[in-house]
Amino acid sequence: MSGAMTDSSLSAPTAPPPRAAPLPPAPRQLGRVNWLGLWTLYLKEVRRFLNVVTQTVAAPVVTALLFLAIFTLALGRGTMQVHGLPYALFLAPGLIVMTMLQNAFANTSSSVLISKVQGNIVDVLMPPLSAFEFTLGFAAAGVTRGLLVGLATGLAMLPFVPLGLNDPIAVLWYAFNATLMLALLGLIGGIWAEKFDHIAAVTNFVVVPLSFLSGTFYSVERLPEAWSFVAHFNPFFYLIDGLRYGLVGVHDGDLALGAVLVGLVNLLLWALAYRMVASGYKLKP
C-alpha cells in the first residue's frame, strides 16, 4: 500500500519548475502614512453607518423636520420674528447644526464602544495603523456622517423654508468644525466608556442639553443677562451661531472670534484624542 503510493508519486513526471529563491520575509514598506490602511478604516466606518441608513440618516432627518413643525407651530404662530427673520427661517439652521452635532458624536462613540464591548477592536489595533491614522480614520467617518445628515436635513427642509447660502465659506468652516468637534468628543467618549450606560449618560446629560440650549431654538439675547454671558463661553453656541450666519445671514456673537475659537477647541480635542489612542488608554490591556 505504502509502496504503491511511493510508486505513483515517483512516477509523476511533474517536477516543480525552477523558481527564483524566495525572498526572506520582510515587513511591508510603508511611507509616512499608511494611506491604504487609513482609507480602509474610513470605508469600514462609513459602511458601518450606511448599512443601517434608516437609523443613522433617515431617522435624524425626520426628527429634525418634526421639530421644525412643532416649534414653528408652537412658537412662530406666523408672526414671531427673530433678528427680522420669520421664526422658521431662524430655527432651520439651528436644527441642521443640532442634527449634525448629535450624529457626528453618535457615529464615533457607538463604533468605538461597540467594538470594545464585542472585542473586535483588536481588528483595528493590530493592523499597521498609527495612532494618527486611527484617530483620523474614525474622526473622518464621524465628520462624513455629520455632514451627510446635515445636508440631507437641509435639503428636506428646503420645500418648507427658503434657506439660502449667505456665506459658503462660513458654512464650510463651521460645518466642518462642528462635525469634527463632536466626532472627536465621540471618539474620546467611546474610548473612555466601558459600557453603554456611560455613553448614554454623556449623550443624555452633555451632548443633547448643550445642543438644545446653545441657541438652536432662540436668540441668546432672550436669555437672562447672566445666562447670555455664560453662553458666550460655550463652543456649541459659536458653532450654531456661525452656521446660522452662513445660511441665513444673522448672528448673535462675534464671528471671527467664534471661527478661531472652534478651531482651537478642535486642535485641543485632537491632541487629547491622539494622546489617548497613542497611549492605548482603555484600548490596549
Partner 1 sequence: MEKATAAGAAWRRPRRHGRIFWPGLWALYRRELHRYLRFAPESLGGALVSALLFLAVFSVAWPDRLQLQPGVPALSFLAPGIAAYALFHNAFENAAFGLLFDKLEGMLGDILMAPLTPAEILAGYVAAAASGGLIVGAVVLAGLALFVPLPLASLAAVAGFALLGALLFALLGFLTGLWAEKWDRYAVVDTFLVMPAALLSGSFFTPAILPEAGRLVLQANPVFYLIDGFRAGFTGVAEASALLGLAINAALAAALALLAWRLLRRGWKVQS
Residues engaged in binding partner 1 (CB under 8 A): 52, 54-55, 58-59, 62-63, 66, 69-71, 73-75, 77-78, 196-197, 200-201, 203-205, 208-209, 212-213, 217-218, 222-223
**Rounded Cα–Cα distance for residues 235 and 269 (Å):** 12
Residue 216 gets which letter from DSSP? Answer: T
Which of 140, 150, 157 has its CA nearest to residue 57? 150
Cβ 157 to partner 1, closest distance in Å? 16
Neighbours of 256 (CB within 10 A): 8
User: Residue 283 in contact with residue 272, Cβ under 8 Å?
Assistant: no
Nearer to partner 1 (CB atom), residue 167 or residue 244? 244
- 204 versus 279: smaller Cβ distance to partner 1: 204
Kindly tell me which of 70 and 165 has the beta carbon lying closer to partner 1. Answer: 70
**Comparison of 54 and 118: residue with beta carbon closer to partner 1:** 54
Cell (9 digits) for 5: 503510493
Q: What is the CA radius of gyration of the chain?
A: 26
Q: Answer yes or no: are the C-beta atoms of 273 and 184 closer than 8 Å.
A: yes
Give min distance, CB of 68 to partner 1, in A: 11
CB of 252 to partner 1, least distance (A): 14
Shortest approach of partner 1 to residue 181 CB, angstroms?
20
When the beta carbons of 96 and 277 are compared against partner 1, the nearer one is 96
| Nearest distance from C-beta of residue 218 to partner 1, angstroms | 4
In this structure, the strands spanning 85-86 and 81-82 are antiparallel
| Smallest gap from residue 271 Cβ to partner 1 (A) | 30
Per DSSP, what are the bridge partners of residue 85?
82
- Smallest distance, partner 1 to C-beta of residue 226, A: 13
Burial of 40 (0-12, 13-18, 19+ CB in 10 A): middle
Please give the C-alpha separations between residue 99 and each of 7, 154, 186, 207, in angstroms, as whole numbers.
74, 10, 14, 11
> Between residues 120 and 204, which has the closer beta carbon with respect to partner 1?
204
The residue among 130 and 228 lying less far from partner 1, judged by its C-beta, is: 228
Query: What backbone torsions phi and psi does residue 15 show, to the nearest 5 degrees?
Result: -75, 140
